[in-house]
Amino acid sequence: MAKVRAAAGAEKGVSQNLEIMRRFRKNRSAMIGLSIFLLICLLAVLADVIVPYSEAITQVKGARLLPPSAEHLFGTDNLGRDMFARVIHGARYSIAFALAVSACSLVISVALGGIAGYYGGATDNVVMRALDVIMCIPGDLLALCIVAAFGTNLGNLLIALIVGQVPATVRIVRATIMGVSSADYIEAAQCHGAGDARIIARYIVPNAMGPVIVNATVNASRIIISVSSLSFLGLGIQPPAPEWGNLLAGAREFMRICPWLVYFPGLALVITSLSINMVGDGLRDALDPKIRD
Amino acid sequence: MSGKLLEIKDLHVMYHTDLEDVYAVNGVDLELTTGETLGLVGETGAGKTTLALSILRLLPDRTGRITQGEISYNGRNLLELDKHTMAGIRGEEISMIFQDPMTALNPTQTVGQQIYEALMLHNGQHLSKKELWARVDSCLEMVGIPAARRKEYPHQFSGGMKQRVVIAIALCCEPSLLLADEPTTALDVTIQAQVLMMMKELRERLGTSMILITHDLGVVAQVCDHVGVMYAGEIIEYGSLEDVFENEKHHPYTTGLFGSIPKLDVETKRLSPIDGLMPDPTQKITGCSFASRCPHASDRCRREKPGLYREGNHQIKCFLYTGESGQEVSE
Amino acid sequence: MLPIILGVTLVVFTIMYFTPGSPGELLAGANPDQAVIDQINHELGFDQPFHVRYFNFLKGIVTKFDFGTSYTSQRPVLDEIMSRFPRTLTLAFFSMISTAVVGISIGILSAVKQYSLLDYASTVVSMFFSSMPSFWIGMMLLLWIAMNFSWFPINGVASWKGYLLPCAALTFCNAAPLMRLTRSAMLETIRSDYIRTARAKGALEKRVIWKHAFKNALLPVVTNIGNNFRALLGGSVITETVFVIPGLGSYVITAIRSKDVPVVMGCTLFMSATFLVVILLTDILYAYIDPRVKAKYMR
């Protein structure tokens, strides 16, 4: 009896998702976060329309280290480049990396974690031990090693960040999938003759997706921070590209006399990752409302 | 018999969450005399556990609220006591056994420590540590667990043994009222019988009154003096064991409840379950709460709440017996 | 634990194997002769195949605790590491402690007083801090505190004062997520059945929280603190750069920039091993708190 009812509950996936959406929409901070994030995405997409890229890299001799003004909203840097243009164009790198790395590591993690979690046994052991090893090396350091060994270009940076993200994500995917696949409703579905494919598509994926998506969201904000950290160390995106970490690294020397050089890129970073975190929190609460009451 | 130990008057409890308000208990009146065992039966979600938690004032802090009513214990209104006095009553005078022994014990403390704590908190006689530990040992032995196992952790016990520990915690201070919330539901049948027998014995020895919450009518028949049938947060029928189990007149819900149990002595082709589901607890019900499922329901049942029909100690909340006036009727 | 260390050496070695260039090119000086380069490469065993080099690398570590020689300074890597490691360890260790103290205490307070002003405030503040990169927090601390109060040194760790700001930077960004975890673990624990049992026994709220909920809520937190040490070690790379601390982190960055492969490998191995030791310690602590885990170890 209980199992049949549980299976019925799992079949209700659609209405459950609607319920989650409803809870998410009711969460004010999550909605604020989402709007800020979408706004930043819009700025990144429309960066060229707002200020041409040339302004972000053109060096104007007479306009070095100018404080914020109507002409230069965020001031100018030590080479006379407009900080506003640089910060806006910097959003492109952060957003693009956050999305690309999250997406790629999500795909890889779901594949690996799914294999490990669904098959278990020896496969599981091999995958998990290998990841244990990687988990043991401090993440930023691993990324640094990869970038150092293979050279600092965008592709390698992408790989380095993905390698840093995958192990932890695989663990979560695997744990979730193992939890879901041992649930009673899976057994119930098997009892009334559902095949592997149907079980994976109709039961495991919809039920395991929640925690995995929440995790991916939280990771996205961490990726933004990682990209800028690596760039700050000079091993990420290379100057003169206006990445936020680069801007901060360049501004370090002048931070005492021109603090705006560190305020604006830093705030851009914080706001972006904050907005993503707010969305992630909202998703988590929507998926698991029991803590809120 | 001796006087009233517990008297609940017109108790209303609701749960208030971000999403909805749940009306869990809607006007319960209940009396319990010293030494009596009352069985509360009803299906899941009828408000039985909420009622018990309200007596101890252990409803979830933010969500659960007693909106109306009075619970007096030995003449004191429990709802008006301050936190400290209430904590003094919990465990010492009124204690509770919870539904699921698997999660009711703290996994990081030994069972001995957990019993010791209850004794230590209500140490009116100022016993020394050593004497308290001796009491722990005797409590464990009372529920049939060797005293040497007091140093073990809950994960080292089986479900039935854990429930014995929970019972030992509840009874170690020899409370005058025990609230047992489905104490045997999570156990398998042989263990159930053992635990029930043990509870009955202990209760008789210590003279404890008990409210036994269960949906198992067989258990009620074995242990209880009086029975209350709960439905959608109301007690719709109340009486002695004989009244409810054998009397001619019943609330239609009670009839349905008994109809859904197989009988060995009567030949029935199939069980007759009650059609439909319990009303949505987030809605306030205007008429009789059972009207939507009742085979005898009339328009009036959907409009007005039925009063009480009394026959001796037997009470039924149904228009079938209250007659035209719809008011409280005694015969 | 040993297989994991072995795995780490393999991973690090493999990655660094792909570093372009050879030690010969780095060491032979300006405009070198190809023969000289080959000679140096041969002496260092650089011309041998992957597995031989890996084996020699391992053999050096196991038999002589030799991590090779730095290309740039020509000194043994181990000496270079040991002269810097204490600073990194001090920084990471104190940051871990202050992270734990700040994160756990605020987390528990805000769970116990859920929906209070304190809860809202700490949730919002921690949200901000967990969205901040540690290097930016570091820069802000330098800008606002170190540059205004001459009591704090602007760089270096010549005295203990030098550790305060870097420690604060790491604490801010690591305590924030820890606080959130503690809060949710505590909230979950407070709602569990055995807490209700404790209340039903007549225990007062304070006792319920400290005697029953605290220990249980701490379980996921302890694991997290251990795992967090990894982030602290990684974070030290950046923090040390910001605050110009001559520790392992800033050393490894210099080594990466100058393609000093033995140093990079040595530092990475060292940090990973440190992390493993910390994980082992937290496992022991975990077993101490949770009798179920202890029982598993005893068997």
Does the distance separating the beta carbons of C241 and A255 come in below 8 Å?
A: no
pLDDT of residue B131: 92
Q: Is residue A4 predicted with pLDDT exceeding 60?
A: no
Among partner residues C16, C132, C233, which is closest to A270 by beta-carbon distance?
A: C132
pLDDT in tens, C235-281: 888 889 888 889 898 899 888 888 888 898 889 888 899 999 998 89
pLDDT of residue B323: 66
User: Does B61 reach chain A within 8 Å, measured CB to CB?
Assistant: no
pLDDT of residue A8: 42
Does the distance separating the beta carbons of C135 and A248 come in below 8 Å?
A: yes
pLDDT in tens, B276-295: 777 888 887 788 888 888 88
User: Does C114 reach chain B within 8 Å, measured CB to CB?
Assistant: yes
Residue type, C179: M
Mean pLDDT, residues C31-36: 76
Reading the block at residue B309, the tokens are: 């029909």
From C94's Cα to the closest Cα of chain B, the distance in A is: 29
Instruction: Report how far residue B40's alpha carbon sits from residue B43's, in angstroms, rounded to the nearest whole number.
Output: 10
Q: Is residue C200 predicted with pLDDT exceeding 50?
A: yes
Taking CA–CA distances from A290, the nearest residue in chain B reads B17
Q: Is residue C24 predicted with pLDDT exceeding 80?
A: no
pTM: 0.83
pLDDT of residue A1: 35
Does the distance separating the beta carbons of B18 and A292 come in below 8 Å?
A: yes
| Residues in chain A closer than 8 A to B62 (CB atoms) | 293
pLDDT in tens, A119-129: 778 888 888 88
Does the distance separating the beta carbons of A269 and C136 come in below 8 Å?
A: yes
pLDDT of residue A293: 44
Q: Average pLDDT of chain A? A: 83
pLDDT in tens, B51-86: 999 999 988 877 888 888 999 998 889 988 898 899
Share of chain B above pLDDT 70, in %: 92
User: Does A102 reach chain C within 8 Å, measured CB to CB?
Assistant: no
Q: Which residues of B touch C (CB under 8 A)?
A: 56, 58, 60, 62, 83-84, 87-92, 95-96, 98, 100, 103-110, 114, 117-118, 121-122, 153, 155-156, 166, 169-170
Contacting residues for B216 by C-beta, under 8 A, at least 6 apart = B41, B184, B185
| Residues in chain C closer than 8 A to A221 (CB atoms) | 131
User: Does A288 reach chain C within 8 Å, measured CB to CB?
Assistant: no
From A225's Cα to the closest Cα of chain C, the distance in A is: 6
Residue type, A115: I
**What are φ and ψ of residue B37, in 5° steps?**
-115, 125
**Edge to edge, what strands does the sheet with B64-73 contain?**
B21-33, B4-16, B64-73, B76-77
From C202's Cα to the closest Cα of chain B, the distance in A is: 4
pLDDT of residue C195: 92
- Suggest the residue from C6, C126, C131, C233 to mutate for an interface test with chain A (most A CBs closer than 10 A): C131
Higher pLDDT, B135 or B188: B135
pLDDT of residue C258: 83
pLDDT in tens, A274-291: 999 999 988 888 887 654
Contacting residues for A66 by C-beta, under 8 A, at least 6 apart = A72, A75, A76, A80
pLDDT in tens, B292-331: 888 888 888 888 888 888 887 888 888 887 765 545 555 4
| Residues in chain B closer than 8 A to A292 (CB atoms) | 18
pLDDT-based confidence at residue A2 (cuts at 50, 70, 90): very low
Among A61, A82, A67, which residue's Cα sits nearest to residue A258?
A67
pLDDT of residue A276: 94
Instruction: Report how far residue B34's alpha carbon sits from residue A293's, in angstroms, rounded to the nearest whole number.
Output: 37
pLDDT in tens, C153-173: 777 777 788 888 999 999 998
Higher pLDDT, B117 or B326: B117
Share of chain A above pLDDT 90, in %: 16
A35 alpha-carbon distance from chain centroid: 16
pLDDT of residue A41: 92
pLDDT in tens, A216-246: 888 899 899 989 998 998 888 888 888 899 8
Among partner residues C7, C15, C134, which is closest to A133 by beta-carbon distance?
A: C7
Higher pLDDT, C45 or B116: B116
Q: Is residue B115 predicted with pLDDT exceeding 90?
A: yes
Mean pLDDT, residues B87-107: 90
- Suggest the residue from C190, C192, C193, C197 to mutate for an interface test with chain B (most B CBs closer than 10 A): C197
Does the distance separating the beta carbons of C19 and A274 come in below 8 Å?
A: no
pLDDT of residue B328: 54
pLDDT of residue A268: 93
pLDDT of residue A6: 40
Higher pLDDT, B21 or B94: B94
pLDDT of residue A3: 37
Reading the block at residue C4, the tokens are: 């994991």
From B17's Cα to the closest Cα of chain A, the distance in A is: 6
pLDDT in tens, A180-225: 877 788 888 888 887 777 887 777 777 778 888 888 888 899 899 9
Residue type, B302: R
User: Does B62 reach chain A within 8 Å, measured CB to CB?
Assistant: yes
User: Does C26 reach chain A within 8 Å, measured CB to CB?
Assistant: no
Q: Average pLDDT of chain B? A: 84
A121-136 helix and C2-17 helix, angle to the nearest 10 degrees: 70
| Residues in chain A closer than 8 A to C143 (CB atoms) | 255-256, 259, 262
Residues 97-126 of chain C with CB under 8 A from chain A are none
Mean pLDDT, residues A151-177: 87
pLDDT of residue A12: 45
Tokens 């005492």 appear where? A256
pLDDT of residue A28: 86
Q: Is residue A10 predicted with pLDDT exceeding 50?
A: no
pLDDT-based confidence at residue A7 (cuts at 50, 70, 90): very low
pLDDT in tens, C132-148: 998 999 999 988 888 78
Helix (H), strand (E), coil (C) string for chain C: CHHHHHHHHHHHHHHHHCCCCCHHHHHCCCCCCHHHHHHHHHHCCCCCCHHHHHHHHHHHHHHHCCCCECCCCCCEHHHHHHHHHHHHHHHHHHHHHHHHHHHHHHHHHHHHCCCCHHHHHHHHHHHHHHCCCHHHHHHHHHHHHHCCCCCCCCCCCCCCHHHHHHHHHHHHHHHHHHHHHHHHHHHHHHCCHHHHHHHHCCCCHHHHHHHHHHHHHHHHHHHHHHHHHHHHHHHHHHHHHHCCCCCHHHHHHHHHHCCCHHHHHHHHHHHHHHHHHHHHHHHHHHHHHCHHHHHHHHC
Phi-psi region of A22 (alpha: psi -120 to 50; beta: other; left: phi over 0): alpha
pLDDT-based confidence at residue B266 (cuts at 50, 70, 90): low
pLDDT of residue B325: 54
Q: What is the interface pTM, i.e. ipTM, of the complex?
A: 0.84
Does the distance separating the beta carbons of A26 and B17 come in below 8 Å?
A: no
Residues 173-192 of chain C with CB under 8 A from chain B are 191-192
Q: Are B143 and B165 in contact (CB under 8 A)?
A: yes
- Suggest the residue from B15, B16, B18 to mutate for an interface test with chain A (most A CBs closer than 10 A): B18
pLDDT in tens, A57-67: 777 777 777 78
Higher pLDDT, A51 or C186: C186
Among A52, A58, A77, which residue's Cα sits nearest to residue A67?
A77
C169-to-C95, C122, C182 alpha-carbon distances in Å: 9, 17, 20
pLDDT-based confidence at residue B154 (cuts at 50, 70, 90): very high
Q: Average pLDDT of chain C? A: 86
Find the angle CA(B68)-CA(B71)-CA(B76) to the nearest 5 degrees: 130
